[in-house]
Chain A
Amino acid sequence: MKKLGALLFEAIKSLFKKPVTSDYPKKRRPIHDSVAGMIAFEQDKCIGCSICVRNCPANAIKITKVPDKEKVFSCELSLANCIFCSQCVFTCPKKALHTTDKFELAQIDKSKLTVKLEEVAPYKPETQQKPDENKTEKVNS
């Protein structure tokens, strides 16, 4: 049956519903923990095999040996290059890399985009479970 204004009822109903859009920087939607955002790094587990470096399609990750320590490796991630495909997480033989739900990673200063993961995002299983409010501030500082 054809008629004019098939949406009328729905439109009037929507007037009294809560809006689905939100005032973004002030109010945030909850996101899933499984969102593949910034990579977190467990320094103790890393054996420096560099499989992640070889597999990274964007050349975003770099593993270097910490100079005066035995078998301790540092992981450097270029957030400008990273495409968040989590290939490194998938192929890490020791499961030293993890995805986190940090996704607001834009920076004004380009040099801040290259980060040392063991400093910025050390992997802590207990805090990873519950998302905390100021998680973006940590990256910015």
Chain B
Amino acid sequence: MISALISILIFPGFLFLFILALAAEYVDRKLYARMQTRLGPPWFQPFADFVKLLAKELIIPENADRLIFKVLPLVACAAAATAFLYMPKWNTNSVFSFRGDIVAVIYIMTIPTLTYFLGGWYSRSLYSLLGSMRVLTQLFSYEVPLLMAVLAPAILASSWTFSNVIDFYSANGFLFLVNIIGFGVALVAVQGKLEKVPFDIPEAETEIVAGTFTEYTGPLYAYFKLAMNIQTISVATLLSAVFLPFGYHSGFILGMLIFLLKILFIISLLAVGRTIFARIRMDQMVRFCWQYLTPLALLQILINIILKAMIIK
């Protein structure tokens, strides 16, 4: 009981995740700044921002549903953190695992996106309303290729469970490299999930102010921001478990190091992605996802099915 509580609250649960999330924000912002030849924030900036936002006055719009408006940021945080608990970190076992947990994790990770939609919807503001419509439209575009890309490696491993997938790829050396197309597709789709350029359409600052988060201020906004950062970590953990399944059998210290390096690598790729592109329009985003990303993900699944037939016979 107590060990379960510790693993939920402290390590590798919430506290560890909190630090990782703030570190992820720092790495993202620093890389973004350095790629633009700027100085970038000092290392404690994400934490300082978090504390500052917590200390601010809480303003709730008059027309908003007070309860839902207040609860949603916490739900977003909780959902993003829960997904993290179900994923393997430095060894093949996560805190809680069961058969078919890949599918469960993907669906848990959709919950924060839904809270962004509801948060915008219940704010009763024009900009939030538009933002939440865009959140949903975008969700329907990137979710399919993301799901297919993540499931492709699992198809090859004939299991829907993280530990089995990792064991399969660990036993087969460099076989995980066949999933490179899926990795690319997943990286692009994740950019949409995390609402970063070129897919930051739901919170496009120059069009609809801050999109879904327009009415959120102070502590509630801090939790939404935290949820976004935790989501970054969760997504990076998911991608590293599925597409980079190595280094899970090398003990705690080395395993942890490899895990952190993999996350850093994925966050850096996401940061580069948001540096070098312009934000595209909603219609272009939907067209891009269905015209290019989904066929590519299908191609990956096809490759894996053929490979599987060849290996297993």
| A touches B in complex, CB < 8 A | yes
Select from chain B the residue with minimum beta-carbon distance to A11.
Answer: B35
A130 close to B (CB within 8 Å): no
Contact present for A14 and B276 (CB under 8 Å): no
Q: A14-B34, A15-B34, A19-B34 are in contact. Are A7 and B39 (CB under 8 A)?
A: no
A12 close to B (CB within 8 Å): yes
Contact present for A19 and B39 (CB under 8 Å): yes
B313 close to A (CB within 8 Å): no
- B-facing residues in A10-36 (Cβ within 8 Å): 11-12, 14-15, 17, 19-23
Select from chain A the residue with minimum beta-carbon distance to B275.
Answer: A11
Contact present for A7 and B37 (CB under 8 Å): no
The size class of the interface chain B forms with chain A is 10 to 19
B158 close to A (CB within 8 Å): no
| Partner pick for A23 among B33, B39, B276, CB 8 A cutoff | B39
Select from chain B the residue with minimum beta-carbon distance to A17.
Answer: B37
Give A41 Cβ to nearest chain B Cβ, in Å: 38
B155 close to A (CB within 8 Å): no
Contact present for B35 and A15 (CB under 8 Å): yes
Contact present for A21 and B34 (CB under 8 Å): no
A interface: dominant SS? loop
A1 close to B (CB within 8 Å): no
B230 close to A (CB within 8 Å): no
A19 to B39, CA, bound (A): 5
Contact present for B35 and A14 (CB under 8 Å): yes
Contact present for B272 and A8 (CB under 8 Å): yes
Contact present for A7 and B275 (CB under 8 Å): yes
B36 close to A (CB within 8 Å): yes
Give A25 Cβ to nearest chain B Cβ, in Å: 13
A6 to B278, CA, bound (A): 11
Residues on the A chain within 8 Å of B34, using CB = 14-15, 19
Contact present for A22 and B39 (CB under 8 Å): yes
For A, the interface residue count at a CB cutoff of 8 angstroms equals 15
B186 close to A (CB within 8 Å): no
Give B280 Cβ to nearest chain A Cβ, in Å: 11
Binary A-proximity of B23-36 (CB < 8 A = 1, otherwise 0):
00000000101111
A123 to B37, CA, bound (A): 39
Contact present for A5 and B277 (CB under 8 Å): yes
A15 to B36, CA, bound (A): 8
| Partner pick for B37 among A8, A19, A23, CB 8 A cutoff | A19
Residues on the A chain within 8 Å of B33, using CB = 19
Contact present for B276 and A19 (CB under 8 Å): no
A14 to B39, CA, bound (A): 11
A134 to B111, CA, bound (A): 56
Residues on the A chain within 8 Å of B39, using CB = 19, 21-23
Contact present for B38 and A7 (CB under 8 Å): no
Give A10 Cβ to nearest chain B Cβ, in Å: 9
Residues on the B chain within 8 Å of A20, using CB = 37-38
Contact present for A11 and B38 (CB under 8 Å): no
Binary A-proximity of B184-213 (CB < 8 A = 1, otherwise 0):
000000000000000000000000000000
Contact present for B40 and A11 (CB under 8 Å): no
Residue among A4, A11, A12, A19 with max Cβ neighbours from chain B (10 Å): A11
Give A27 Cβ to nearest chain B Cβ, in Å: 10
Contact present for B38 and A21 (CB under 8 Å): yes
Instruction: State the 9 A-B residue pairs at the shortest beta-carbon distance, nearest first.
Output: A11-B35, A7-B276, A19-B39, A14-B37, A21-B39, A5-B276, A21-B38, A20-B37, A8-B276
- Given contact pairs A6-B276, A11-B272, A19-B40, enumerate 8 new A-B contacts (beta carbons under 8 Å): A5-B276, A8-B272, A11-B275, A14-B34, A14-B36, A15-B31, A19-B39, A21-B37
**Can you list 18 pairs linking A and B with CB atoms under 8 Å apart?**
A4-B277, A6-B276, A7-B276, A8-B276, A11-B36, A11-B272, A12-B272, A14-B35, A14-B36, A15-B34, A15-B35, A17-B37, A19-B34, A19-B38, A20-B37, A20-B38, A21-B37, A23-B39
